[in-house]
């Protein structure tokens, strides 16, 4: 598995405005450093206990993105350094991130994860939950977070039309709430969608951030 070569091939297929989160969960620090050496500076992890030592040992200009289901009691571990939490799926979690970020005098970027897939085990807000919270201005008081966009995972299926429909629906929703509720929020620009097996479809449907693991690092050992 040639990480540098894999990264080069993927970057060739990404338009300029689409950024790449290299999903490095379960992979060793030395493998991350290969990617770092090739210019990759955004890494995604889905366990706080795994992200912390990687943050401590690796170069400080890495942007650490949390992409997994986050338990409220783990936020304090990553609050001192995490750049973006891409997988926020409840108001309670947002409030807790806000509190922990405040303790460190920081602002943490968050993406609201939307449930767009058919699988019930995937996490996320429903579209109507987000509209309700926006109408209630529930996010306004959270001074230590910056809502920078939305994240979604499509259904794991070979049916390309279904994947496309889910991504395109998320893009439409993103555009709608940006216009109606978030016109004054200049940070709300990120639409994180697309993984190893569906990122090309996601890019066609308006993704600004793809999250790719297997296609860069291979199957985890
Ligand atoms: C693991 C993971 C990815 C990367 O998946 P691959 O199929 O390995 O590219 C992307 N997003 C989330 C939320 C993940 O948990």
Q: What is the pLDDT of residue 15?
A: 97
Report d(CA 45, CA 74) in Å as an integer: 13
Write down the pLDDT at residue 72: 95
Domain-wise residue ranges, the chain: 3-217
Choose one of 25, 45, 67 to mutate for the ligand 1 pocket test, by most ligand atoms within 8 angstroms of C-beta.
Answer: 67
Who's near 204: CB < 8 A, 6+ residues apart?
164
Beta strand ranges found along the chain (DSSP E): 19-23, 42-45, 63-66, 84-88, 108-114, 145-152, 190-193, 209-212
Q: For residue 75, what are the contacts with CB-CB under 8 A and spacing of at least 6?
A: 48, 93, 96, 97, 100
Give the SS3 label for residue 150: strand
Q: Which residues sit opposite 146 in a β-bridge?
A: 109
Nearest CA to ligand 1 atom 13: 67
Would you give the DSSP letter of residue 73?
Answer: G
CA angle 54, 191, 114 (to 5 degrees): 90
The residue written with tokens 């216009």 in the block is 179
- Write out the two tokens for 212: 């790719």
* CA angle, 191 then 193 then 199, to 5°: 135
Q: What is the pLDDT of residue 220?
A: 59
pLDDT 10s digits, 120-150: 888 899 999 999 999 999 999 999 999 999 9
How confident is the model at residue 199, as a pLDDT? 98
Mutate which of 42, 154, 211 for ligand 1 pocket (most atoms within 8 A of beta carbon): 211
Per-residue pLDDT tens digits for 47-65: 999 999 999 999 999 999 9
pLDDT digits (tens, 9 = 90+) for 157-173: 999 999 999 999 999 99
At 18-51, the pLDDT tens digits run: 999 999 999 999 999 999 999 999 999 999 999 9
- What's the mean per-residue pLDDT of the chain? 96
Cα(213) to centroid of ligand 1, in Å?
6
Q: Tell me the per-residue pLDDT of 73-115, one tens digit each, with 9 for 90 and over.
A: 999 999 999 999 999 999 999 999 999 999 999 999 999 999 9
Residue among 201, 221, 102 nearest 158 (CA): 201
C-alpha of residue 25 to centroid of ligand 1, in Å: 9
Q: Rounded CA gap, 99 and 90, in Å?
A: 14
What lies within 8 Å, CB to CB, of 57 at 6+ separation is 29
Is 101 touching ligand 1 by the criterion CB < 6 Å?
Answer: no
Instruction: Assess whether the C-beta atom of 23 lies below 6 angstroms from ligand 1.
Output: yes
List the Cα angle 133/194/29 in 5-degree steps. 105
CATH T-level assignment (fold) for domain 3-217:
TIM Barrel (3.20.20)
pLDDT at 184: 87
At 41 the pLDDT is: 98
Q: Would the CB of 67 count as within 6 Å of ligand 1?
A: yes
């Amino acid at each position: 598995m040639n990480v540098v070569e894999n990264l080069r091939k993927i970057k060739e297929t990404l338009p300029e405005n689409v950024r790449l989160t290299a999903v490095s969960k379960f992979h060793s620090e030395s493998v991350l450093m290969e990617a770092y050496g090739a210019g990759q500076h955004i890494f995604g992890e889905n366990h706080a206990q795994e992200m912390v030592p990687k943050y401590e040992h690796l170069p400080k200009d890495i942007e650490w993105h949390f992409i997994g289901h986050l338990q409220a009691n783990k936020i304090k571990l990553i609050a001192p350094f995490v750049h973006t939490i891409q997988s926020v799926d409840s108001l309670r979690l947002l409030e807790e991130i806000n509190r922990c970020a405040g303790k460190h005098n920081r602002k943490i970027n968050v993406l609201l994860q939307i449930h767009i897939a058919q699988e019930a085990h995937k996490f996320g807000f429903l579209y109507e939950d987000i509209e309700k919270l926006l109408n209630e201005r529930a996010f306004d008081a959270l001074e230590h977070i910056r809502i920078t966009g939305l994240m979604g995972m499509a259904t794991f299926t070979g049916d390309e039309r279904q994947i496309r429909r889910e991504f395109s629906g998320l893009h439409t929703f993103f555009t709608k709430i940006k216009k109606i509720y978030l016109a004054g929020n200049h940070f709300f620009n990120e639409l994180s969608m697309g993984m190893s097996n569906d990122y090309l479809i996601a890019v066609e449907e308006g993704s600004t951030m793809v999250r790719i693991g297997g296609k860069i690092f291979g199957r985890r050992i």
